[in-house]
Chains A and B, each alone.
Chain A
Amino acid sequence: MTAAAVSELRKAYGSFEALRGVTFEIHAGEVFGLLGPNGAGKTTTVEILAGYRRRDSGTASVLGEDPERAGSAWRERIGVVLQSSATYANLTVAESLRLFAGYYAKPRPVDEVVELVGLQDKRRARVRTLSGGQKRRLDLGLALVGDPELLFLDEPTTGFDPAARRAAWETIRSLRALGKTILLTTHYLDEAEQLCDRVAVLREGRLEAIGAPAELAGAEPATEIRYRREGERLLVRTEDPTRELHELTGRALAEGWRLEELEVRRPSLEEVYLSLTETERE
């Protein structure tokens, strides 16, 4: 089942092309990550899918509708956390959630949402007194209060401290367990690796790669063997690590030297990402 799909999506701001033909599909029930450096076009993509911006060309379908034309019934089914939005500073956390709950036909109980985003202690606090991270969590709560099927989270954890990030990850995992479909953007690789079923790597408005994080990492064939020999760092890339290691250790034993700091590793998603998004260096 497809929750959302875009095909050959293009968008220019003036003469600057922010999206240059992006195609992907989000399956129902998965956490789909849009990964890319700043300016790659993540927000543009999300805001087109959430119905905020108009595409120049290409097709987009979200929960079976074109987001440019979708109405209130469609908005009942989506939840959105944007980078550039805010809520009333003079309301309390509980009041904000109650206000937004009133916009939906079948909202989740406010208390449940408060707990889900971990703001129990702040129920009665005015929004203006919340920290940046707490505001972000309230934002997530406001996106969840309508009990949406599909969530758009644009950099949901940017600016969080490590503990808050982990807590947000837990929340996102529990949403996935509830069967929600989630599109999240991030420029943190560990986040994509931890949370996403599939990841699309975006760079300068183009998709560079798409697949499960492990698949993407696996797409780079070579295994790396690193060690030090008499202080000198050495790196061997090989398609056949079993043979390479056998030979290496055999030689070391026979010749009586040590493989200091021996390390055998597959490249992580991070390295794949860096190699994909690296701009040409002179």
Chain B
Amino acid sequence: MRVLWHELRAQQLLFWRSRELAFFTFLLPIGFFVLLGSVYGEDEIEGVKGSRYLLAGLLGYGVAATAFAGLSISLVIRREEGILKRLRATPLPPATAIAAMLGSTLVVYALEAVALIAIGRAFFDVPVPDRLLSLALVLLLGALTFAALGLALTAFIRSGEGSSAVVNAIYLPMTFISGSFFSPHSFPRALELIGEILPLTHFIRVVRYVLLEHGQIWSRPGAVSIVAAWGVGGAIVAIRYFRWEPREG
């Protein structure tokens, strides 16, 4: 426990000190919310006020940026530089190291969610969510799922320089197709079908349900299980293929 706390604090320090990472995963979703909220926050999307609709989408973009993209890029870089290898020589248990990285990601995403909600309240007239427990649970589920997927992805990236290219190529289209920024109903049919497979689409759907329809997470078992299934799949791949060292030779 003491070591977990120690490592978690270190991970937080490292995250906020790495300016690019903090900007990319923490500030960018907030920036997009402010930008898009100013552009069509007053419009109506699918029968609700644009800014309320957007908040849910950007909570989805945030989870993809923080838990999926940020985590996998920084892990690949650490692995390729030999930092993970260095850690392996210490008594820090691997499970504790991973738990601290996940914990740190959760902290960042929690702060991000609070910031998004606060900005919505302050500038765009979005009411503070009333189903807080359900919201917390769905955000936690999303963060764990995308973190598991991010960990799984690290196994397929071969270099630190290549990591952000690969990760961006996956997560930017995914956030777009899943409707982080716009309503997916305005998409061509094919994109919409692809969206139906992606976990982010279902995650955003549950978040919208909780935020806009005041629903509870347990009333949407279908979407929740699709997100969770992706998470379990990601975790299995991550456990099976995770590497502490660059691939040799």
A and B bound? Answer: yes
Interface of chain A, main secondary structure:
loop
- Name the one of B10, B89, B93, B248 contacting A99, with C-beta atoms under 8 angstroms: B10
Q: Is A104's beta carbon under 8 Å from chain B?
A: yes
A135 CB to nearest B CB, Å: 12
CB closest chain-A residue, reference B17:
A90
Q: What's the nearest-Cβ distance from chain A to residue B85, in Å? A: 5
Whether A52 sits at the interface, judged by CB under 8 Å, is yes
Q: Which residues of B contact A90 (CB under 8 A)?
A: 14, 17-18
Identify which of A13, A14, A72, A91 gathers the most chain B CB atoms within 10 Å of its CB: A72
> Contact: B81 with A86, CB < 8 Å?
yes
| A79, B90: Cα distance in complex, Å | 8
The interface size bin for chain B is: 20 to 34
| Residues of B contacting A78 in the complex (Cβ-Cβ under 8 angstroms) | 89
Asked whether any CB of chain A lies closer than 8 Å to the CB of B3, the reply is yes
CA distance A269 to B242 in the complex (A): 45
CB distance from B5 to the nearest CB of A (A): 9
* Interface flag for A85 (CB, 8 Å): yes
Find A146's partner among B14, B82, B90 (CB 8 Å cutoff).
Answer: B90
Cα A259 to Cα B51 in complex, Å, equals: 99
Q: Which residues of B contact A194 (CB under 8 A)?
A: none
* Cβ–Cβ contact B248 & A13, under 8 A: yes
How many A residues face the partner with a CB closer than 8 A? Answer: 30
Contact B85 A73 (CB under 8 A): no
> B86 is contacted by which of A73, A87, A95, A102 (Cβ under 8 Å)?
A87
Which residues of B in the span 13-70 have a Cβ within 8 Å of any Cβ on A?
A: 13-14, 17-18
Distance in Å: Cβ of A88 to nearest Cβ of chain B? 6
A144 at the interface (CB under 8 A from B): no
Given A73-B91, A85-B83; 5 other pairs, CB 8 A cutoff: A51-B89, A52-B88, A103-B90, A104-B90, A146-B90
* A–B complex contacts, Cβ < 8 Å, 11 sampled: A50-B89, A75-B90, A82-B86, A85-B82, A86-B82, A87-B83, A91-B14, A99-B6, A99-B10, A142-B86, A146-B91
A: residues with CB less than 8 A from B are: 13-14, 50-52, 72-73, 75-76, 78-80, 82, 84-88, 90-91, 95, 99-100, 102-105, 142-143, 146
4 residue pairs, one from A and one from B, having the closest CB atoms = A85-B82, A80-B89, A102-B6, A85-B86
